[in-house]
Structures are given as C-alpha cells and as structure tokens.
C-alpha cells in the first residue's frame, strides 16, 4: 500500500487537534503588519492576531507561501511517502495554488497532485478533512483523487461578517460589492461561488443570519459541520445550539478563523463549512 501525504495551507482554518489527528501537513501563508511578517498560525495565533488587528494603526496584508517553501515541504514528505495530494485555497482568491503548481513542476514528480479547492476557510477545511479521512481508511491514491473531483463542487462555506470593511481593504470582496451601500440595513451572508467570494443571502441581524444558515443546512445531507468564528466563541456556541437542532452535536466541530482569513473578514465574523452528499 502506497503512503500518501495530505497537504493544505493555513487558510483551511482546521483546528490543530484535527490537523494532528488526521495527519495533515499545513503550509502557512504570511501576514504582514508593515515591516513585521508572521507565519499564519505559527508565529501568530488567532487571539494574538485579533488583538493586534484591533490596536494597530496598520491594516495587515497577506501573501502566499513561497515556491521554495512548497519545494522544501514536498521534498521532505517524499522521503517518507510515495505520493502527495496538495489541496489549497481557490486560485481566484490567492496565488497559493500557483506556488504549489510551480513547486510541483520544479520537482518534476507526477505523484504530486495539486488541487484547486475553489473554496476557502472551512469550505476548504471540510474537503481536506474528508480527503485525509479517506487516506486514513486506506483508500488508494487514484481513488482519493477521483473522490476529490466529486468533493470540490459539493464543498460549501457560508459566513456572516458584521461589516464588509475588511474585505474591501483586502480587495477580496468580489461580487458582494453590491452590499456596501446597505450595511446599515442588512448583514451580508457570503459564500464561495465559482471560486470567488459572493453574496449568497442577507439578513437583518446576526441572529437572523444564523437562522438563514441553519435553513440552508437543512437542504443538504451532511456528515460533519464546522462552525468557525473570529474571536467570538459566544457566537459560535450560539450557532452550534441552533445547528444542533438539525445535526447531531457530536458531528459539529468548532474552529477559529486564522490570521490570514481574519485579515479579510474581520473580528466577530462567523460561518459554517461542510460537504454535501446531495
């Protein structure tokens, strides 16, 4: 049986416990506060990041991992694995996917497969979780790749941001731009659609936004739901209590937006990521 390494990047926002349990290798993106550069999730954790975000006069910028970091990671893994499946944030949202492709080309190993998730945060995370689970169950490299093709269009993320300010500053607002003039009246519910951040709904309040998310979840057959929050565990717990009405609470995992995603969504944001089998 071939040994397969599963690689992703830090925008997957999976909890550290899950990453360890599923034996996932995470390549960090970079967060820049002026002249200071931090590795996402390594040099700076969510709590410290959001504190710095709220007190700094500088709005942070983010950047993809270098090609060299991917080359180094892949070469290290190939010493103990026969193949690598590397799945990353949408190529329309970050150049991370491009760095991975360049690294694979530089190494020249056809057993390194790069997948564009067409998603981000826990939409990507839910995919990685499933792929890593298939790997741990002993599925072959070919079968996992085939299943990955089915997973990509069935991965979903829905999130609610108290303000579009941070998305606008980061240039990631995509087709949700229509909401900018209406922030006093509605709360935008955003999702990854065709690899871009788009509006998928709207609500008059954060609580009604949660209700919208729950109603959307009812439309799908779901094994595991990830609830993610930006430095606001109370909102995540409240959303979990609502989601628990339709999905067994033991299949709900709470996670935090990491610094890179938090840069673009801002504090107080929350959402869900999941795979739909229907």
Residue 245 sits in a domain whose CATH number is: 3.30.1180.10
Cα separation, 259 vs 41, in Å, equals: 7
Closest alpha carbon to 186 in 208, 216, 211, 210: 208
Domain that holds residue 60: 4-150
Q: What are the two backbone dihedrals, phi and then psi, of residue 161, each rounded to the nearest 5 degrees?
A: -110, 135
Same structural domain, 14 and 47 = yes
Mean pLDDT (the chain) is 91
Model confidence at 175: pLDDT above 70: no
Integer-rounded Cα radius of gyration of the chain: 18
List the CATH number of the domain containing 53: 3.40.50.10170
Closest alpha carbon to 14 in 116, 100, 89: 89
Q: Compute the residue count for the chain.
A: 278
- Using the structure block, give the residue that is written with the tokens 């959303």: 239
pLDDT attached to residue 148: 92
pLDDT by residue (tens digit) across 62-114? 999 999 999 999 999 999 999 999 999 999 999 999 999 999 999 999 999 99
Structurally, the chain folds into a number of domains equal to 2
| Domain-terminating residue out of 150, 177, 196 | 150
pLDDT by residue (tens digit) across 192-223? 999 998 888 888 888 999 999 999 999 999 99
| Domain-terminating residue out of 118, 150, 182 | 150
Same structural domain, 131 and 202 = no
> Which token pair is 116?
């564009």
Residue 86, beta-bridge partner list: 7, 114
* pTM recorded for the entire structure: 0.92
pLDDT by residue (tens digit) across 221-271? 999 999 999 999 999 999 999 999 999 999 999 999 999 999 988 899 999
Same structural domain, 19 and 88 = yes
| Domain-terminating residue out of 125, 150, 175 | 150
Same structural domain, 165 and 241 = yes
H helical segments located in the chain = 16-21, 46-55, 67-78, 96-107, 121-136, 141-151, 165-170, 206-217, 233-243, 259-265
Residue bearing the bigger pLDDT, 137 or 172: 137
């Amino acid at each position: 049986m071939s040994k397969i390494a599963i690689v992703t990047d830090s925008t997957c926002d999976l909890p550290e416990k899950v990453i360890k349990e599923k034996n996932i290798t995470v390549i960090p993106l970079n967060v820049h506060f002026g002249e200071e550069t931090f590795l996402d999730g390594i040099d700076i954790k969510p709590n410290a990041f959001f504190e710095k975000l709220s007190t700094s006069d500088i709005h942070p910028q983010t950047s993809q991992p270098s090609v060299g970091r991917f080359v180094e990671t892949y070469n290290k893994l190939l010493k103990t694995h026969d193949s690598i499946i590397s799945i990353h944030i949408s190529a329309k949202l970050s150049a991370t996917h491009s760095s991975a492709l360049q690294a694979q080309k530089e190494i020249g190993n056809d057993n390194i497969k790069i997948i564009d998730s067409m998603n981000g945060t826990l939409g990507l995370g839910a995919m990685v979780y499933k792929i890593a689970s298939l790997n741990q169950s002993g599925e072959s490299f070919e079968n996992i790749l085939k299943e990955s093709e089915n997973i990509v269009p069935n991965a979903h993320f829905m999130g609610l941001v108290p303000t579009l300010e941070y998305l606008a500053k980061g240039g990631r607002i995509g087709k949700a731009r229509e909401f900018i003039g209406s922030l006093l009246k509605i709360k935008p519910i955003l999702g990854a659609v065709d690899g871009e951040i788009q509006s998928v709904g709207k609500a008059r309040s954060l609580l009604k936004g949660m209700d919208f998310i729950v109603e959307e979840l009812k439309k799908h057959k779901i094994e595991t739901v990830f609830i993610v929050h930006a430095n606001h565990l109370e909102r995540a717990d409240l959303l979990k209590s609502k989601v628990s009405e339709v999905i067994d609470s033991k299949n709900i995992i709470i996670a935090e937006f990491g610094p890179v995603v938090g840069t673009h969504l801002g504090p107080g944001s929350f959402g869900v990521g999941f795979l739909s089998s229907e």
